[in-house]
Amino acid sequence: MTEQRFVHAQWSSRLAFILAASGSAIGLGNIWKFPYLAGDNGGGAFVLVYLLSVVAIGIPIMIAETLLGRRGRQSPINTMRTLAEEAKASSFWSYVGWLGVIAGFMILSYYSVIAGWAMAYFFKINSALFEHIDAAGSTKLFEAFKSSPEFLGIWHTLFLSLTMFVVRKGVSGGLERLTRLMMPALLVMLVMLDFYAMGSGGFSQGMAFLFSPDFSKLTGEGVLVALGQAFFSLGLGMGSIMVYGSYLPSDVSIAKSSLFVIAADTLVALLAGIAIFPLVFANGLSPSMGPGLIFETLPIAFGQMQGGWFIGMLFFALIFFAAITSAVALIEPAVAFLSENKGMDREKACLVSGAGCWLLGLGTVFSFNIWADLKWMDKTIYEWVDTLTAEIMLPVGGVLIAIFAGWVMSKADSEAELKLQDPRHYQWWLILVRYVAPICVLLVFLDALGVI
């Protein structure tokens, strides 16, 4: 199947795809979520399970999702429908595309709110508010900020507007240009923060926490969280990698490109931990602060440093850069679907999808203030959206992608797309995508449910 059913632009080169896919993967999941989840789940043991999940599950599924995207050359929904027809399989498989698009849409609805916090703190940290502040004072400022639906709504609107402006420009004029600029800048800023952390006085303690496993601190739920984080961080199961794969030129190696993306994503997550935890321990703070680790704990450290305002601004600029490169990838599958199926030009598709995401995001905005007491099973709207997407929809979608690529698509078709020079490499990928990835995810789910 070499024809394209819908005319899409393509990445200009393999490097363009690697930067864009890395930008899709590297985001709040690496710099905000990974450190606080590691802090909440005992540090080193969580990190080890996360790394094992990336190798055993992330690598084969990313290759599979990119493969499906390039072969289908359409939005995830249309790609899965087309490939199911090609394989003479059930039309059920089109729902895998729907699952990914909806998951990405839901994630961006709260992702935009959290990214808005980073934008606000970029300016707040440059004020005198955090100078020599203590834990109680930092928490008070953060709670006051979250308690205002007006402030959260404004920053949510601003971030999402910037995201849609980039997406409106298309593949080469928007997505590719953004990632070429921001990904190198992000890496430079992160390395600068790591060098600063080395001289903070808490470096050895931070490294021990991050890389010395203590499995007594890791629960079955923690393992599921690590698995979900691997999917969330790599952008798997949410349609982004599939739609980016649809723009990949035919002569580019899927396997090599995917390995570059995964290596970059994992490196950034670890570098973020190396930058954050030494600062936490150097200032006598707790690493298990949950989502507030970045916005409550670190500003205390910045307020006590010489020139901390500059380091703080650098840090929150880093978060913004990482967030927007992922945000454009989260909404791109929905924009592609509206363009293909509803006859919309790109500008109108951006407006419709952006408006819908903005409205859904108000649920997260209000979860921290006027709807804070509106809970079901002790979870707010934001907590439910996070749990449903990161711990259920993404792993389930990823496994279904693995099953389709490994069992439903013919070996001749998958071999033709992967074009691996060594047949043994294809066999190894097939074993991982057919058996290892689905079984690992199933076992983690059963453990979390208390079945095993």
On whether the CB atoms of residues 10 and 237 are closer than 8 A, the answer is no
Is residue 345 in some structural domain? yes
Is residue 435 in some structural domain? yes
What pLDDT is stored for residue 19 in this prediction? Answer: 81
Is residue 381 in some structural domain? yes
Over residues 315-328, the pLDDT tens digits come to 888 888 888 888 88
CA 232/CA 391 separation, integer angstroms: 9
Q: Which residues, in sequence order, are CB contacts of 145 under 8 Å at separation 6+? A: 117, 120, 124, 151, 152
Over residues 415-437, the pLDDT tens digits come to 999 988 888 999 999 999 999 98
On whether the CB atoms of residues 301 and 280 are closer than 8 A, the answer is yes
Predicted TM-score (pTM) of this structure? 0.86
What pLDDT is stored for residue 3 in this prediction? Answer: 40
CA 58/CA 66 separation, integer angstroms: 12
Count CA within 13 A, CB hemisphere, residue 423.
2
**Mean pLDDT computed over 384-389:** 89
Q: Which residues, in sequence order, are CB contacts of 219 under 8 Å at separation 6+? A: 41
Number of structural domains the chain divides into: 1
Is a pLDDT exceeding 50 seen at residue 9?
Answer: yes
Over residues 186-218, the pLDDT tens digits come to 888 888 888 888 888 889 999 999 999 888 888
By residue range, what is the domain housing residue 41? 14-448
Is a pLDDT exceeding 70 seen at residue 4?
Answer: no
**Average pLDDT over the chain, rounded to an integer:** 86
Is residue 296 in some structural domain? yes
Is a pLDDT exceeding 70 seen at residue 7?
Answer: no
CA distance to 11, 145, 147, 197, 233, per residue, from 278 (Å): 39, 26, 30, 6, 22
Is residue 285 in some structural domain? yes
What pLDDT is stored for residue 28 in this prediction? Answer: 79
The b-or-e profile of 422-436 (16+ CB within 10 A means b, else e) is eeeebeebbebbbeb
Instruction: Output the domain CATH number for residue 88.
Output: 1.10.4160
What pLDDT is stored for residue 18 in this prediction? Answer: 83
| Greatest C-alpha distance within the chain | 66
| Nearest alpha carbon to residue 441 among 414, 401, 410 | 401
Is a pLDDT exceeding 80 seen at residue 264?
Answer: yes
- Amino acid at residue number 378: D
What pLDDT is stored for residue 451 in this prediction? Answer: 67
CA 280/CA 36 separation, integer angstroms: 11
Is residue 98 in some structural domain? yes
Is residue 363 in some structural domain? yes
CA distance to 152, 233, 322, per residue, from 116 (Å): 7, 19, 12
On whether the CB atoms of residues 286 and 40 are closer than 8 A, the answer is no
What is the token pair recorded at 38? 């590691």
Is residue 302 in some structural domain? yes
What is the band of 126 on the pLDDT scale with cuts at 50, 70, 90?
confident
